[in-house]
A = this chain, B = another copy of it.
């Protein structure tokens, strides 16, 4: 077995100033663990690891800033590789120019993407490129794809997961062929969509499931839809989940935030900011859930809920980009191509809109009556509805701000 070489350096600060042991955060020990993948070493690398994590990148340019950014990514990957060293996960880089052939063979298309090979499957990581998010993603990938729910208390745990898509199937036992199909289907969506199963009659009864039946739970809905025509093949399950993958209300999650953002409807997202741990935010989220339940059959409606607590590093950026105050709940429409946006007027967070008012506003958005373009010619400083500008202390030239953020992003569109 490989020798574990974790934490040689330890956290500098802790090493020198603390008397306690037990919370030593890893810092990069300087050892190279991430290797370049080529046609030559491919076979060997694939053989060696259960899981292979591949960073597919464009050639490192001569631009200093770009180089530094690339190095930062490298360090993140090295740290992740170091932390997970005893989990038998390999980490490699694939240069899109040098290894064009190899990349094509592996089916890689988007430079700057992170792929994971597991068994015969390729999983794309489309989340926040941070060590903690990546580590959790990879740990979730090496867990069993299906969680077993054994008793009443565990049903409670299952029921408490309300903000994510989840499936639960009732099967005879672990050897059931239908359970095996369910497991295979789960692997298609691991770790993004959680699959649960039970072999316990009491649990199945509580959840109103018949033998070999699978319930599909949309986020925030009280009742699941039972997938029709049991028993199911792996393919039938996969197809059903793919068809129902965009719920009426869903949270933005660090582990797949970019994929979710790309899944817009006609170029826009209806975005709601609500901090769940804050009384106002909680109240607003409850109202949103009400709206989602009332409109769950509307395929044109998909609201993206963002809890600012989950994205501390983006709060200031969002406040600036959207010209809103994120210390209070907000709902708006965002154009995903230019981040142009328009926000519902909520004059006072003690007086949030009712579900009916929200539905009227949403109707106006879906009909195009409220859109991000109409206000573009109005002078923002003169109109009455910019009470949301409170965090903007530099609005001397809003065009310049746009230039800044555009510069680095639209080069190759």
Contacts and interface: CB of A to CB of B under 8 A. Distances in A.
A207 interface: no
B26 A86 contact: no
Most buried by B among A18, A131, A156: A18
8 contacts: A3-B396, A8-B404, A15-B411, A21-B321, A22-B269, A27-B72, A86-B406, A136-B309
A83 B313 contact: yes
Contact of A279 (B150, B279, B350): B150
B135 A14 contact: no
A141 to B, nearest CB: 13
A61 to B, nearest CB: 9
B278 A7 contact: no
A409 interface: yes
Interface stretch (A39-47, A63-71, A362-370): A63-71
Interface in A268-325: 269, 276-283, 286, 309, 312-317, 319-321
Given A3-B400, A12-B66, A147-B279, A139 B315 contact: yes
A1 B394 contact: yes
A65 B403 CA distance: 40
Interface residues of A, number: 121
B338 A1 contact: no
B157 A58 contact: no
> How many protomers of this protein does the assembly include?
2
Contact of A405 (B7, B399, B402): B7
The 8 tightest CB contacts between A and B, nearest first, are A157-B282, A12-B69, A13-B112, A10-B408, A21-B339, A154-B279, A135-B312, A136-B312
A16 B69 CA distance: 12
A312 B158 CA distance: 22
A209 interface: no
Nearest to A282: B157
A84 interface: yes
A6 B317 contact: yes
A348 to B, nearest CB: 10
B399 A4 contact: yes
Contacts of A27: 69, 72
A174 to B, nearest CB: 12
Most buried by B among A1, A112, A312: A312
Given A312-B139, A313-B131, A399-B3, A320 B86 contact: yes
A20 B409 CA distance: 9
Contacts of A15: 408-409, 411
B405 A110 contact: no
Interface in A228-264: 257-258, 261-262, 264
Contacts of A150: 279, 350
Interface string A371-413: 0000000000000000000110110100111111111110111
A17 B110 contact: yes
A382 to B, nearest CB: 20
A111 interface: yes
Contacts of A3: 393-394, 396, 399-400, 403
Contacts of A87: 316
A225 interface: no
A113 to B, nearest CB: 8
A361 interface: no
A413 B19 CA distance: 7
B22 A339 contact: yes
Contacts of A261: 20, 22-23
A112 B21 contact: no
Nearest to A152: B283
Contacts of A402: 4
A365 to B, nearest CB: 16
A4 B403 contact: yes
A334 interface: yes
